[in-house]
Amino acid sequence: MGALTKDILADNSLKLPSLKNGILNLGFFGGLIIGGLAGWAIDGSYLTAYMGGLSGSVVIQGLIGVTNKTEAEKIA
């Protein structure tokens, strides 16, 4: 749910999964997976899953060194 909220608020749309040049982009499903895993692994809380989906992609982009939206779109 957090991933859906983030995508709708950030771009006013949902990014669907796509396959470009042999690279799979999960779209908002990536955030759903991250949120679900965070909620399950940490404490089984729906709130943790929501926050994981909301901030999961931002955290991962920060860990790999993506600093702006243009670089994030190149990776996706």
Domain membership of residue 59 (yes or no) is yes
Under a CB-based contact definition with an 8 Å cutoff, are residues 35 and 56 in contact? yes
User: How far apart, in Å, are the Cα atoms of 29 and each of 8, 14, 17, 39?
Assistant: 13, 10, 7, 15
The model's pLDDT over 24-36, given as tens digits with 9 standing for 90+, comes to: 887 778 777 777 7
Residue 50 lies in a domain: yes
Could you list the residue range(s) of the whole structural domain that residue 68 is in? 1-9+36-76
> How many domains in the chain?
1
pTM recorded for the entire structure: 0.58
- At residue 8 the predicted structure's pLDDT band, cuts being 50, 70 and 90, is confident
pLDDT for the residue 72: 58
Round to whole Å and give the CA distance between 17 and 46: 24
